[in-house]
Structures are given as C-alpha cells and as structure tokens.
Amino acid sequence: MNTKTPIIGNEPSEKKESPADIARQIVFFTHTKQCASLRKERQEELMARPIAKRWDSTKKAKMVRRYMQADNELKESENALDQLTFRLSQVMAPAPTVQQAIASVAGSI
C-alpha cells in the first residue's frame, strides 16, 4: 500500500532558460568582471610602490592573497561570460538580437 501519493502540481518540471534570464546573468558577470579587474589593478599599484618592499610578511601575504582572489574572480567571470554568451546564442536565433537582449536588460537595471 502506497501511503505517499504525489501531490498534483509538485512534479519537477524541466526549466527552460529564457533569453532575458541569460541576459541578466550576463549583465551581472560583466559587472563582476569590471569590479575584479579594478581590484586587481589596485593591488598591482599598491604592490608596485617602493614602500611595499618594507612591508612585513603578513601584510605582503595579505596583499598577494587579495591579488590572487581578484585574479581568480576575473578569470571565472570571463569563463562564465563566454558560456552565457554561447547559451544565449543557442537560445536565440540571430546574433544581432543577442546584443539587443543584453542592451534591453542593462537599460532596465
């Protein structure tokens, strides 16, 4: 005897990504990439200063860790943007509408 009957409407459905959802993700990862790039550049500037040679080892390690974190986030964002752009081109037919979808979502944020 089966006491657990499925509730109607709770069946897992296959979720399709809409072009607007993918475009929102592209906008998010573009912003993340820009922020990571700025952080990485700032860390490079700080570590290039002459006074950086006199930092103690803990501060040097902290600055290198921040630099590496920004670099990793930058690479991950670039990879995610490549994948999202490809998925968006697969979902939408012509390439010019991909740019229009990104622009329309970016304009509404």
Q: What is the mean pLDDT of the chain?
A: 85
**Does some domain include residue 32?**
yes
pLDDT at 78: 96
User: Looking at the domain assignment, is residue 35 inside a domain?
Assistant: yes
Looking at the predicted structure, is the pLDDT value of residue 26 above 70?
A: yes
Total domain count, the chain:
1
Q: Could you tell me the residue range of the domain that residue 33 belongs to?
A: 19-108
Two structure tokens written together for 88 = 């968006």
Distance CA 77, CA 65 (A): 18
Kindly report, residue by residue over 71-100, the tens digit of the pLDDT: 999 999 999 999 999 998 888 755 455 677
- 29: tokens are 């990862």
Q: Is 93 a domain residue? A: yes
> Domain for residue 78, yes or no?
yes
Residue 80 has which token pair? 């995610």
Residue 8 in any domain: the answer is no
Domain-embedded: residue 3:
no
